[in-house]
Amino acid sequence: MTSKELLLWFNMMFPLVFSIGPGNVMFASFGARFGVKKSLPFLFGFDSVTVLLALLIGYGGTQLMSEYATTFTYLKYAGAIYLIYLATLFFNASPYEEEDTASSTTSPTFINGAIVQALNVKSLIVISLIFTTFLGTQPDTIDSNKILILSGLLLVLALSCHLIWLYSGAWLAQQFASEKFNQIQNRVFSIMLVIVAIWILI
């Protein structure tokens, strides 16, 4: 990729990835509720699927999405339902997640992150935008090196963004640490996840 293409990619992707949106709010909520360390498995699951989807779409997945549009509509609904399920876990969680007594089932897992991103149809649309912009839509324009570069850049940007949002959420939680605040926090974050589910459906 040329320096001009890299600059264009960064100018397009930075606001899309780093801006305040439902996905980043979700990472901030996990950082605040569970801390950065316990949220890392979710992050790795989420972004592992991100780069996997980028590779699949780069090597022809955009055409597949067009041919099976109905299937992706069902995935959208499944993703929303799964997020509502996670929201119920937040809503019913205890105010504190003590280090010695925390159940591993209550912390977001690698599988949770992978499922959320795999069912995130809007993310597929954004990734498709990247490749249609920089590779074109014709099969003979596909460049394997460029696909790998674009997928790697997306992974680095996504990991950086999500780590920042995790740390931001954890920092805010430390500033207002109290049992009442944590209880309110659980309720607010469960509502946020429901908002993310609605955002996926729109």
Over range 179-201, report the average pLDDT: 71
Over range 72-101, report the average pLDDT: 65
pLDDT of residue 38: 92
- Whether 167 shows a pLDDT value over 70: the answer reads yes
Over range 19-28, report the average pLDDT: 77
Residue 81: partners with Cβ closer than 8 Å, 6 or more residues away:
197
pLDDT of residue 45: 95
Specify the higher pLDDT residue, 132 or 140.
132
The overall average pLDDT reported for the chain is: 77
110-119: pLDDT as tens digits: 998 998 888 8
33-84: pLDDT as tens digits: 888 999 999 999 999 999 998 888 888 765 665 565 566 567 677 767 777 8
Say if residues 161 and 24 touch (Cβ distance below 8 Å): yes
Domain locations in the chain as residue ranges = 29-94+107-201
Cβ burial 135-144 (10 Å sphere, 16+ → b, else e): beeeeeeeee
pLDDT of residue 68: 59
